[in-house]
Structure 1
Amino acid sequence: MNQTPARLRVAPSPTGDPHVGTAYMSLFNLAYARATGGAFVLRIEDTDRARYVATSEQQIYDTLHWLGLDWDEGPDIGGPYAPYRQSERLETYRPFVEQLIEAGHAYYCWCSTERLAGLRAEQQASKSPVTGYDRLCHGLTREQRAALPGFSETPVVRMLVPDDVELAFTDLIRGEVSAPRPDDQVILKADGFPTYHLAVVVDDHLMGITHVVRGEEWISSTPKHLLLYRWLGWPEPAFAHMPLLRNTDKSKISKRKNPAARLTWFLEQGYLPEALRNFLQLLAYPPVHDDEDVSTFEEFVAAFDWAKVNTTGPIFDLAKLNALNGHYIRALSPGDLADRVAAFAVREGQWTQPSQADAALLRRAVPLVQERLVLLSEAVPKLAYLFTADDDLVVDPDALAKAGPDAAAVVRAALVALEALPDWSHEAIQVALRGALVDGLGIKPKFAFGPVRLAVTGSTVSPPLFESMELLGRESSLARLRTLQSLL
């Protein structure tokens, strides 16, 4: 691999909740930048004003920072090629448009949207092998074009794609690639904003981008971009087109059809950033270690090679992500996990700001559920009984109805054994209850402790019972047993 310091960028559009593909592309761009000792640039491409969402840019910053995919230059931190927001660079593009027009590589087009729509419909109806713009405006003055139907007062500017345009190019991942022939692409819109195709070339050149890494949907646009580089006399960057993320039915993952396409969805569900980062890496790249999916970003960087990228559309398998997330949760220290659970619960509204006592209790309780957690969002619901006042605890009515004929006797015996217990440790609680219920009443352990669990937690499914009772304390545990006794 060429170890010359490389400059790479990711350039999301602030048109709503960031797409998970933004993180996916950022991961691979950043990895190569770090592998070569280069730089990773964040550029905001906000020239699509019709779809612009004011809050989206901050969401891009927040989610990428959350994932640890930090940039060296960008709109929020500046850099030697500022500004990094395209709407602040509009004066940059116009001179290059004029240069292309003067050289005969571009021309004004006054066709109305109605005429263009009609042209597309006609081509589709006739199943014409030739599609795209028909160059009606090429070579005409404004006055000449105004005399014809379908005229618009404000023109756009189009590329004049030559008949012998080179369609093949070398891709770092795919080798020799051939793209379809492009039509005369609009490069400057009627509102004075450049289209993506012009702006991306101009910005990448002026910002010194050496490697353009993007999704495979842009393969068809690469010949247009290469034309612009050549017409403007600029060196061409290397191109690498990553495989698209796919749903389980092989369709392209989209925010309209799959909530997991939204990057903030992963925060809302309680995924760990290191797990999601590891998962995104595995979608298009083999495990760094043989037969082991888990690896750090630093290990990924150290082993990075474009030749290892798998071009087959990777399936976005949430079951695999869940398995990774569970692994990472289990690997955390209990204190770190408790901090992350608390931060998640407050942010997502599961909890109000906890008191010092509640925070301390959470740190003691987290080990009870750590092995069973897949998502951070599961922790507070699993431990809710510890933070519920005794009088507010709701006993599951279905579980109560199925408590069994021995339930009242079990609760009565449990109260007798526990009320006299001098040591309220989980070991002592277990010995006392086993002696009273299993040995004393002759009930199998599977059934003996169920009513006690129901009394203490309100459910028949909960974290370890004896440890829960130790955390809950003597008074609350006994009060809850008495409450269930009255219900039975």
Structure 2
Amino acid sequence: MTAPIRTRFAPSPTGALHLGNARTAILNWLFARRHGGAFVLRLEDTDTERGVPGGEAMIYEALDWLGLGPDEGPREGGPFGPYRQSERGALHRERARELLESGCAFRCYCAPDELEARREAAIAVGEPTGRDARCRDLPADKARRYEAAGRTPAIRLRVASGPVEFDDFLKGTLAIDGDDLGDMVLVRSDGRPTYNFAVAVDDIAMEISHVIRGVGHLSNTPKQVLLYRAFGVEPPEFVHIPTVLAPGGGKLSKRRGAAGVLDYRERGFHPDAILNYLSLLSWSSEDGEEFLSREALVERIDLDRLGAADSEVDEEKMAWLSGRHLRAEPPERLARRWAGQLDAEGLGLTDADLRRAAEVFAKRTRLVTDAPSEVEPIFRAPPLGGAAARQVLWAPEAGAALRLARAAWEETAWRPEALARTLRGAMREAGLPGRAFFPPVRVALTGQPHGPDLGEVAYALGRERTLERLDAAATGAAGEFDTSHGGHNNGSNDGSNDKETSV
């Protein structure tokens, strides 16, 4: 029977989740979902000096925004907990004791300064620095003398000379000589486990089947493989994915593309676009399609299609994907995203207003934060008393155009296509060219000389608001404006953008 798929994301709570870490989490989540497995969050929080207050909460906030809820983790619990490495000390100590009893590990009483001096001496004569066999077969009486003198031992793994071979899914079989690794420390003299020991012990205990992580961890893999073998356990599948680079190449930094995931949320990117984009930095679908829903990503993810080349962050492509995902949202859901960006109360916008606006104006946006510039000018009361508006509304044909538009729309089915079609019919009935007919209608509805399709504008505004604005403008077309309040001057309008075929 095939073992269940279990992947893990194991960040340190040292700050906001950046794009590189998020890409690792995404691939682990997708692969687990594809195979009906478990996606585990384990916090490697033993490095207390680098930890930041609220680091765990920031990781969860980013994962939640991306929709990558773990199946097991510090918040969720699960059968393989605890899920904070700092809370797993008892297991680490027990497994170290097992290696001592089996002879795979030994106690080393060498002081740090002694080890450093011998390391420098080995470098001076060109010998491997990791191998120090002084305590490998230390007589029991000498060990007792060290302990009586107050020396607390570290615990080291016995590493044999010769090649240590291991497999990576992308790079194939690799090897390093055991002498280059040396007898690596498993538990420091102060009782703290080393990174590689804790990771291997925890991955074994949590029955992790696939370790999908950045290629920067490749050097850790032979050390962890040795521990799997010492425990008599088959290693997981190791998949070391390429590096995410800053725009133009080079390491991600605060100034070069290393913004935290939540910074992209604040800038208005759609979370599915970040998920979509980051997955494509390592993987491509068989048909080459780049715009993929999360359901499609889960269905199509295939480790065999992972690439080995590093990739640069391209925010322009991220923004393009964000626009595609915004347009794919049901209007009701997009309206809820927009609600937090708009002055809905100040403009008197209802949920129905927002839904209609989302339905027709989503195509004009790429980021959620684009909504105010596209939506608010439409719903803001049009400044009909300004010079630019008066120039349009006092034209000889303006009054007739406004009355015919109102009459045509009063009984029209309130859909963008029907409104545009009916308005063109009213234009033909008036016997006016588009450059004379459409500008008064546009100024009446928005106060602006240019803008979106008039059928879409009217649809977003709603029947009552649209007819009220046409009535107010028709009054102005008769020369009855109260100009004492001034108005918005948007320049002259020659109607060049309002052609008969484009409402």
Q: What residue in structure 2 maps to residue 284 of structure 1? A: 282
- In structure 1, the gaps of 5 or more residues are 148-152
**1:63-462 residue pairs with structure 2 within 5 A?**
63-100=62-99, 103=103, 104-105=105-106, 107-108=108-109, 110-111=111-112, 157=154, 159=156, 162=159, 164=161, 166-178=163-175, 181-182=180-181, 185-188=184-187, 192-254=191-253, 256-259=254-257, 261-288=259-286, 290-343=287-340, 345=341, 351=343, 357-388=349-380, 409-413=391-395, 416-417=399-400, 420=403, 422-423=406-407, 425=409, 439=433, 449=439, 462=451
Moved more, 352-361 or 15-24: 352-361
Moved more, 311-320 or 76-85: 311-320
Please report how far the alpha carbon of residue 218 of structure 1 lies from its aligned counterpart in structure 2 after TM superposition: 0.7
Q: Distance in 2 between matches of 1:434 and 1:53?
A: 68
Q: What residue in structure 2 maps to residue 150 of structure 1? A: none
Q: TM-score w.r.t. structure 1 length?
A: 0.75
1:331–1:459 distance in 2 versus 1, CA, 3 Å: same
Please report how far the alpha carbon of residue 134 of structure 1 lies from its aligned counterpart in structure 2 after TM superposition: 8.2
Q: Distance in 1 between matches of 2:345 and 2:15?
A: 29
Give the paired residue count: 455
Q: Distance in 2 between matches of 1:224 and 1:368?
A: 57
Q: Distance in 1 between matches of 2:400 and 2:31?
A: 65
Q: Distance in 2 between matches of 1:168 and 1:225?
A: 12
Q: What residue in structure 1 maps to residue 495 of structure 2? A: none
Instruction: Give 3-state SS (helix, strand or coil) of 1:96's partner.
Output: helix
Please report how far the alpha carbon of residue 353 of structure 1 lies from its aligned counterpart in structure 2 after TM superposition: 7.1
Please report how far the alpha carbon of residue 202 of structure 1 lies from its aligned counterpart in structure 2 after TM superposition: 0.9
* Per-residue deviation, residues 232-283 of structure 1 (Å, max 9, x unmatched): 34332221111121223232334x2345541212322222233222222221
* 1:283 alignment partner AA: L
Please report how far the alpha carbon of residue 55 of structure 1 lies from its aligned counterpart in structure 2 after TM superposition: 2.0
| Overall identity of the aligned pairs, in % | 34
Q: Distance in 1 between matches of 2:41 and 2:125?
A: 41
Instruction: Give 3-state SS (helix, strand or coil) of 2:53's partner.
Output: coil
Instruction: Give 3-state SS (helix, strand or coil) of 1:173's partner.
Output: coil
Instruction: Give 3-state SS (helix, strand or coil) of 2:312's partner.
Output: coil
Instruction: Give 3-state SS (helix, strand or coil) of 1:69's partner.
Output: coil
Between Structure 1 and Structure 2, whose CA radius of gyration is higher? 2
Please report how far the alpha carbon of residue 310 of structure 1 lies from its aligned counterpart in structure 2 after TM superposition: 0.7
1:302–1:334 distance in 2 versus 1, CA, 3 Å: closer
Q: Aligned Cα RMSD in Å? A: 4.5
- Correspondent of 1:468 among 441, 457, 460: 457
Q: Distance in 2 between matches of 1:23 and 1:454?
A: 47
Q: Distance in 2 between matches of 1:351 and 1:189?
A: 58
1:302–1:362 distance in 2 versus 1, CA, 3 Å: closer
Q: Distance in 2 between matches of 1:81 and 1:353?
A: 49
* 1:364 alignment partner AA: R
Q: What residue in structure 1 maps to residue 499 of structure 2? A: none
Q: Does the alignment pair 1:55 with 2:37? A: no
